[in-house]
Structure 1
Amino acid sequence: MKIVVTGSLGHISRPLTQELIQQGHTVIVVSSKAERKPEIEALGAKAAIGTMEDMDFLSVTFQGADIVYAMEALHAGSFHNHDLDFVAANTKLGSNYKQAIEQAGVKRVVHLSSIGAHMAHGNGILAFHYQVENIIRQLPDDVSIKFMRPVGFYYNMFAFIPVIKTQGAIIQNYGGDEKEPWVSPLDIARVIAEEMERPFDGREIRYIASDEVSPNEVAAILGEAIGKPDLRWKVISDEQFLNGLLNTGMNPKTSKGLMEMNAVRRGGVLYEDYYRNQPALGHVKLKDFAKDFAKVYNA
């Protein structure tokens, strides 16, 4: 099959591209950076250089594709851009995808959504996933769509490192012993490749997770990996957490969205639909990721 993969050679798109090429598919990787072209071609894929903001470019790139894998991804530093509305900008990318897919006549789409996409409000920065899913659902009925909803990414834990080093703890506005799901990009890529081989039938949703651990267990596992067995997960108020983000220079609206996203994790509200449609867990466990965490921590 001819498959278009967006997301350049990111955490998910790289292993996904490698998997699809191994399966014998023709893969076109969309990247905004021309310097990525040699690396993309070295994997055996074709490079399409352009931006997700350019709907005409997307439409041309999608022409003749058997499947399009679509994900929204803003450039690094977006959280600190005070001129950017993070939710609105991602929602616009979803609208571009919808128009380009329709213009190109693509009939099978795999869309990377997220945990929290079932919530119309109260999910903070995850709101754009709800909005984009609804935009893409407006495609004609003969377009089959698989919405992939991964949970929190392990690599988001790298953001804990500066605070661990300066304050000796993981500090968030939620915590405790209630388990929550986490996921490795490798398991996401594996599931997406698997779904591309399966029949497409209307509109489907699949959650993706690798492990289920509590915040306190996260602290214990990461602490053991970095040689700090006494590492603790400290819970602070929403206001304190928000002020901490603002003090880093983060966009105020984005900061509020992150605070709200964490707040809805308390009591498992964010995960209610996940547990109604609980998936089989993937291969990469938190203890596996902890080895990578330790390497970054000690670098």
Structure 2
Amino acid sequence: MKIVVTGSLGNVGKPLATDLANQGHDVIVISSKEEKRKDIEQIGAKAAIGSIEDVNFLESAFEGANAIFALIPPNMLEADPRAYYKRIANNYANAVRKTGVKRLVQLSSVGADLDSGTGFILGSHDAEEIFNSLDGVSVTNLRPGYFYVNLFGLADMVKHMGFIATNYGGDTKFPMVDPADIATVAAEELSKSGGEKVVYISGEDITANEAAKKLGEAIGKPNLEWKKIDNEQMTAGLSQSGMPDVVIKNFVEMGHAIATGALREDYDKHQPIIGKVKLKDFAPKFAAAVNG
């Protein structure tokens, strides 16, 4: 099969493209950076270098493909993140229509069923609606939980303050998952001519306190706390980092949706695919980031 992977060689894209190439598929990886060409070719894939803002480029890359892995790379510089997600999703959708691709697997998110109050995840909600409207295309929306690698963003806080503090800490429970396990599921779905509309993926469904204990043990601080702070405190803390207001607003909204349980309501109605990687497996990498 000819399979196009968008999103370059990121946390999901690299293991996915590698798996697909090892399975003998004709894999094309889209990247905006020419310097990625060598890395893409080293894993046995072909590079398509260009901008996902350019529909003509996408049409050229999608031509003759049996399946597309649609990933919209986060862009924190966008003044309107939701409009950005819609724009890129429409670019992918238009290229799919023009080239006649019949299979699309999108990297979405837990909470993408909601149309308000989820911050950045609203972009995934909009993308799902755009892709689901494609006539004659079998679409599967992968809704993974919280990426383990996102914990790296908390490493400096742990290193310098000795605790974790977000507006969804304490006994808040949420699914977490490793990108490699997402890639495994994506590779399986892309190899099919059709599949379920929505597939949830989790590695482990644990509370913030339980996560803090496992991370703390890895860094030699078994009493590490993951404190739950209010939205105002979260906003103030992120403001000190110099983060743009629109990004802060989206992070706080998303965290609040995790804290209230709204983000996982639909997740709890389904049986997720459980990945192999657990938090204890990821914890040594977190420890290296903290201690390094």
Same fold (TM over 0.5): yes
Instruction: State how 1:69-80 maps to structure 2 within 5 Å.
Output: 69-74=69-74, 78-79=75-76
Alpha-carbon distance in structure 2 between the residues aligned to 1:164 and 1:204 = 39
Show the counterpart of 1:118.
113
Alpha-carbon distance in structure 1 between the residues aligned to 2:272 and 2:193 = 18
Instruction: State how 1:160-199 maps to structure 2 within 5 Å.
Output: 160-199=154-193
Report deviation, 1:96. Answer: 0.6
Identity across matched positions, percent: 45
Show the counterpart of 2:240.
247
Contact 1:124 1:259 in 2 (8 A): yes
Show the counterpart of 1:145.
139
Which residue identity is paired with 2:7? G
Which residue identity is paired with 1:90? Y
Contact 2:114 2:125 in 1 (8 A): yes
- TM-score norm. by structure 2 comes to 0.97
Q: Secondary structure at the match of 1:265?
A: helix
Alpha-carbon distance in structure 2 between the residues aligned to 1:2 and 1:116 = 31
Cα deviation code 1:142-198 (max 9, x no counterpart): 111111111110111111111112211001012222431001000000001111233
Contact 2:169 2:228 in 1 (8 A): yes
Show the counterpart of 1:128.
123
Q: Secondary structure at the match of 2:4?
A: strand
Report deviation, 1:88. Answer: 1.5
**5+ residue gaps, structure 1:** none
Aligned pair 1:22/2:22, yes or no?
Answer: yes
Alpha-carbon distance in structure 2 between the residues aligned to 1:3 and 1:120 = 30
Alpha-carbon distance in structure 1 between the residues aligned to 2:191 and 2:276 = 19
Aligned pair 1:233/2:226, yes or no?
Answer: yes
- TM-score norm. by structure 1 comes to 0.94
Given candidates 247, 253, 258, the residue that maps to 1:260 is 253
Alpha-carbon distance in structure 2 between the residues aligned to 1:124 and 1:283 = 29
Aligned pair 1:94/2:76, yes or no?
Answer: no
Report deviation, 1:38. Answer: 0.9
Which residue identity is paired with 2:138? S
Show the counterpart of 1:213.
206
Cα deviation code 1:32-77 (max 9, x no counterpart): 0000101111111100000111111001110000001111003xxx
Contact 2:105 2:139 in 1 (8 A): yes
How many equivalent pairs are there?
292
Alpha-carbon distance in structure 2 between the residues aligned to 1:296 and 1:280 = 29
Alpha-carbon distance in structure 2 between the residues aligned to 1:40 and 1:269 = 39
Show the counterpart of 1:283.
276
Alpha-carbon distance in structure 2 between the residues aligned to 1:151 and 1:87 = 20
Alpha-carbon distance in structure 1 between the residues aligned to 2:146 and 2:86 = 20
Contact 2:199 2:273 in 1 (8 A): no
Runs of 4+ in 1 over 3 A off after TM superposition: none
Which residue identity is paired with 1:187? D
Contact 1:98 1:136 in 2 (8 A): yes
Which residue identity is paired with 2:228? V
- Over aligned residue pairs, what C-alpha RMSD do you find? 1.3
Show the counterpart of 2:103.
108
Which residue identity is paired with 1:232? E
Show the counterpart of 2:51.
51
Show the counterpart of 1:154.
148
Alpha-carbon distance in structure 1 between the residues aligned to 2:158 and 2:115 = 34
Alpha-carbon distance in structure 2 between the residues aligned to 1:49 and 1:200 = 28
